[in-house]
Amino acid sequence: MTERGTVFLVLVLAALGAWLWLSRAPRPASAPPAAPLLRVPAADVARVELAEGDERVVAVRRDGAWADAAGRAWDAAVVADLIETLRGLAPIMVVDAAPADPADYGLGPGATRLALAGARGERLLALDVGERNPAWTGLYVRVDDARAVVLVGAVLRWEMEKLRDARPGGKP
């Protein structure tokens, strides 16, 4: 090969290298772990309300103990379990950023709503809770009145059932 040919090949190689370098896909930034649904210490929660249609299950922290709206004592462990679960659960995925009909996910009017508030009544978390996904591994929810439907672990359903079952005075 002639000297000219060698130089030409080197130039072609350099051009290819530059093209590869410039055209490579940007490296995706590693996604930060999704934030948990409830981002405050459990001690900051002073009120838990689970509303399903006309039914309300309410737990209010008074002098360090949980009681219902009528002042009847709760099994504190059940309320604590729910709060700890919400502090550990993070959205697994956004299922539908802009649902045409939220009722498709069980999030239409009358959907179950779980609301947590602080001592001064400030909202700490509001979850609209819909259906389970087809495999029952998770639940469709909307967080803090956002439009997007996200999937969270089905353990939330288990904790909500525990709360219903443990309500002071039993199930209505």
Report the phi/psi class of residue 145: left, alpha or beta, with left for phi > 0 and alpha for psi in -120 to 50. left
Question: Does residue 158 contact residue 172 with C-beta atoms inside 8 Å?
Answer: no
To other proteins, the closest distance from the beta carbon of 83 in angstroms equals 14
To other proteins, the closest distance from the beta carbon of 3 in angstroms equals 54
Question: Does residue 93 contact residue 153 with C-beta atoms inside 8 Å?
Answer: no
> Considering the rule CB under 8 A, would residue 136 count as an interface residue with other proteins?
yes
Q: CA torsion angle for 74, 80, 81, 83 (degrees, to 10)?
A: 120
Of 144-163, which residues contact other proteins (CB under 8 A)?
152-156, 158, 162
> Considering the rule CB under 8 A, would residue 113 count as an interface residue with other proteins?
no
> Considering the rule CB under 8 A, would residue 6 count as an interface residue with other proteins?
no
Residue with Cβ nearer other proteins (76 or 118): 76
SS percent in the chain: helix, strand, coil, step 5: 30, 30, 40
> Considering the rule CB under 8 A, would residue 89 count as an interface residue with other proteins?
yes
Catalog residues that contact other proteins under the rule CB under 8 A. 77-78, 81, 85, 88-90, 92, 135-138, 152-156, 158, 162, 165
